[in-house]
Structure 1
Amino acid sequence: MRDKNYKGQYFRITVPQIFMVVGITAAVAGTLLFLWYAIPVLLLVFAGILLAIFLQGLSGWIARHTFLSYGWSLTFVVLDLATIFLVSLSLIAPEVADQAYHLSQQLPEALQRLKQYFAQYTWGQELLALIGKDLMPSREFMLTQASNIFSSTLDVLFSFIIILFIGLYGAAQPRLYVDGIIRLIPIRKRQRARMVLHQVGQTLLWWLFGRMISMTVVGMLTVPGLWLLGIPNILTLGLLAGLLTFIPYVGPVLSVVPAALLALLQSPIQVINVLLLYLFLQSFEGYLLTPLVQKRTVAMPPILTISVQVLFGTLLGFFGLMLATPLVAALMVLIRMLYVEDILGNSGKNKL
């Protein structure tokens, strides 16, 4: 086979070369297809690594500041966290479950009232026609969705067990897994690789600590704030606000929706009060708590973070949305150290 390039010169493409190109293309396509189907599993592994980093960080701090060894410190941390979880579950779980039930009963009524409010205006009628019935669900639709959620409880429990075991084993022998990764690197690059892994771990550790602090503060401040406004189901709404704070930017928007809908059952003024309360809490968290933690991590651009959250949420669901931000944090460290510093030769003093 002969082809002519722009200079008028000829070159020969042999049959082995054709097979080689086809083979490489098929291998790349197969690898990408495998990674696509393996993404849910990889996300579970990454979640387990986050748990391992969190447990290792707490255990290492205790081991450095007490007479306990790292192994006993890890045992203390695991038992302590398990005790706190079980005690909290026994104390507030019945109340939260009762409030969650009432919340599920009140939300359809709030959605119907919102629909009636929009229907009073021409622009509202056009908006309702544009949205359609699917986004204004009935009680039957919500019950159907609830049954679907309960049917997937087994999958959630299985995923939780996998994350728990990965986290425990990773925290118990962190050096074993780090050394295993380092052995895959050429000898002359191993010291740098160890530094990069350490920095990624530290970044994720401080990001997790920051999220935990933000979740606790927002959840604890939401409950009395809603109580002062006279909004019902404050424990459930406070717990929801605290948990969703784990997802920057998107989480606070999701947490305000049920509170605003319940406020709508009282009056439009209450909706404004609830929105102002959540705006104050998220401003406090975003402008005071987060900057203090970001001194020890990387400053992630909001546009990049939100874009990755939307992408992961669309492709991988809520679980992908939860893990999008720590993935961005780890990726930015890798870009800064491996590309900006090592390839471009920048000093690394200016963080991404």
Structure 2
Amino acid sequence: MMTPDDTAAAPDQTSGPTDIRDGLVRSEAKRAAVWLGMASLIALAVYLAQPLIVIFGGIVFAAMIDGGQRLLARALPARLQLPRGVRIAIVLLAAVAFVVWLVMFAGNQIAAQATELPRLIATQAQRLGDLARAHGLLPKIIDMSGLETRIAGELAGGVGPLTRALGGLFGGFTTFFLIIVLGIYFAVEPDLYQRGLAWLLPTQTRNDWHGITHDMGRALRRLLFGRLIGMASEGAATWLLLSAWGVPMAALLGLLTGLLAFLPNIGAPISGGLMIMVGFSAGVNTGIYCIVVYAVVQIVDGNIVVPMVAKKTADLAPALVLGAQLIFGVLFGLLGLVLADPLVAMVKIALQRQASRNDSDRVDDAADAAGSGSPR
């Protein structure tokens, strides 16, 4: 017999208005909740696309730092091995020292050349336009009426674009600073963030998560190392070859070639076009020499440097990378253009890992089916 006190203390087992007694309805409700949750996560990812691409930029920068400290650990003998934090500090100090050297020793020359480059390009573009008009490729329409009024209107209307440009410049500096800070945090304690994300996943998938992140990290480090090797080789070769002929702005063109080499498929034509325009401004022979320099540098980089690096990195189809650059460039601007290549490499590794896991599960299922069907 239960006393009244025991009855009051016992949990209430009566059905509530939100209880679903039908098992089928309850199962379908759970399934619908899962789909609604997935749709909400996708909508949230779209809404937070800009912060997510900045976080991925921090991961890419962290991979560069981690690759540098791993390379330093391999270069040091066993008796002189340093802790991981010290190696990271050395890599960061070396990067800061390089930037300071570039600003102090090469900054004046490059800055002077940079101020001259837009005028030179405008002059060459005007010459090309005049040549095209002379051959009937462009219409010869010059309307001088109301020129002063149009110029005044352009100057007045240029205040808004100038303000937006300054805002975009400060926003770019802020994004760059956030990427650096995030990259340092990720590089100092990568296991902390990896374990934190693994904790959010189901227990049976955590081993696969650790394996995927390991493969992604290794491929990302090698991919970025290859990019840095290509940037250094193209920039130095361009600078030396142009300086040997006495091409104007050789240092600036070498620097731009090295920086734009980080963008596969897109950076090389841009740097080559600038180089050729500067070359023809100094004469036909210099312009032809710049064409030869561009071809030689790209042939050597494309047939020697890139294949050596591509053997140890994620082999990406050029059309796939170019398509990703177009899409992410439209969505996220310059940052998306820069990070398109690493992002495509990470997605490819994740898909390859999932495909290999599916093949392994299929083989296991076939083995189990063969074992259960064998006679005893």
Same fold (TM over 0.5): yes
1:7 counterpart residue number: none
Q: Deviations over 1:110-161 (max 9, x none)?
A: 1101101111213x22699xxxxxxxxx9x99x9988865553311211111
CA distance, structure 2, for counterparts of residue 50 and residue 35 of structure 1: 19
Mapping 1:302-341, distance limit 5 Å: 302-338=318-354, 340-341=355-356
1:165 counterpart residue number: 181
CA distance, structure 1, for counterparts of residue 239 and residue 268 of structure 2: 15
CA distance, structure 1, for counterparts of residue 218 and residue 37 of structure 2: 38
Aligned length: 318
The structure that has the greater radius of gyration is: 2
Give the superposition deviation at 1:276: 2.7
Identical positions, percent: 26
1:99 counterpart residue number: 113
- Select between 302-311 and 75-84 the one with higher mean Cα deviation: 75-84
CA distance, structure 1, for counterparts of residue 183 and residue 96 of structure 2: 14
Answer yes or no: is the 8 Å Cα contact 1:207–1:326 preserved in 2. yes
Letter in 1 for 2:339: L
CA distance, structure 1, for counterparts of residue 295 and residue 166 of structure 2: 32
Q: What SS does the corresponding residue of 1:68 show, helix, strand or coil?
A: coil
CA distance, structure 1, for counterparts of residue 284 and residue 351 of structure 2: 48
2:239 counterpart residue number: 223
Unaligned 5+ segments in structure 2 are: 1-24, 142-150, 363-376
Q: Deviations over 1:11-50 (max 9, x none)?
A: xxx9xx99x979967973x654543342222111111111
Q: Does residue 42 in structure 1 map to residue 52 in structure 2?
A: yes
Residue 244 and residue 127 in structure 1: after superposition, are their counterparts in 2 closer, same or farther (change >3 A)? farther
1:117 counterpart residue number: 131
Q: Does residue 290 in structure 1 map to residue 306 in structure 2?
A: yes
Q: Deviations over 1:278-312 (max 9, x none)?
A: 12211211111111111211211111111111122
1:59 counterpart residue number: 69
Normalised by the length of structure 1, the TM-score is 0.81
Answer yes or no: is the 8 Å Cα contact 2:325–2:341 preserved in 1. yes
- CA root-mean-square deviation: 3.2
2:262 counterpart residue number: 246
1:84 alignment partner, one of 98, 102, 126: 98
Normalised by the length of structure 2, the TM-score is 0.76
Residue 109 and residue 61 in structure 1: after superposition, are their counterparts in 2 closer, same or farther (change >3 A)? closer
Give the superposition deviation at 1:333: 0.7
Unaligned 5+ segments in structure 1 are: 1-13, 129-137, 348-352
2:194 alignment partner, one of 158, 161, 178: 178
Q: What SS does the corresponding residue of 2:85 show, helix, strand or coil?
A: helix
Answer yes or no: is the 8 Å Cα contact 1:246–1:322 preserved in 2. yes
Residue 127 and residue 75 in structure 1: after superposition, are their counterparts in 2 closer, same or farther (change >3 A)? farther
Give the superposition deviation at 1:215: 0.3
2:372 counterpart residue number: none
